Amino acid sequence: MSEERVAQCIRRGAITCSEETSLIFVSQIMVVNRIRYCVVTNKNHEVLGLISADKMIDAFDKDFARRKAKDIVSADAIVTVTPSTPLREAVDLMAKKRVEHIIVVSDRPGSRAVIGIIAAHDIVGRMARRQEQEGRP
């Protein structure tokens, strides 16, 4: 894993919504896609932050029907890497920030366009397959 890059285990694409999306529609997106988070993007498809299921719960009954994604988006909880980031660095970031998903954004300077997601369970699966291939229990 030491020389691998994020590009080698990225899940292309991500479930996103715009900052203007209603929270009711965000909740529908999360239910239909069976996800616990939604990536919020601006009109240029650049990452603004995340809305987690926990944030949705916190927003419940607080004028929920009238609120938009931009009202509850968490920019501080967002962790991003690029496809060229070493996988070891991404794993270290997950551990340090205590997150299970990292958003992969464009390598293009000045861009934060969403390319995909790297998830902890994908890395764990990769580690297990490597152990099998090397004949270790």
Q: Are 124 and 100 in contact (CB under 8 A)?
A: no
Q: How many domains does the chain have?
A: 1
CATH of the domain at 56: 3.10.580.10
- What pLDDT does 136 receive? 63
In a domain, 1, yes or no: no
CA distances, 49 to each of 16, 68, 75, 127, 131 (Å) = 10, 13, 4, 29, 35
Average pLDDT over residues 123-137: 72
pTM of the model: 0.77
pLDDT 10s digits, 43-83: 888 888 888 888 899 888 878 889 999 999 877 767 899 99
pLDDT 10s digits, 78-124: 789 999 999 999 999 999 988 888 899 988 887 788 898 888 888 88
In a domain, 43, yes or no: yes
- What pLDDT does 45 receive? 82
In a domain, 120, yes or no: yes
Please give the sequence-ordered ranges of beta strands (E in DSSP) within the chain, or none if there are none.
Answer: 11-12, 16-18, 37-41, 47-52, 80-81, 101-105, 114-119
Question: Residue 14 belongs to what domain range?
Answer: 6-133
In a domain, 72, yes or no: yes
Residue 24 has pLDDT above 80, yes or no: yes
- What pLDDT does 13 receive? 81
In a domain, 23, yes or no: yes
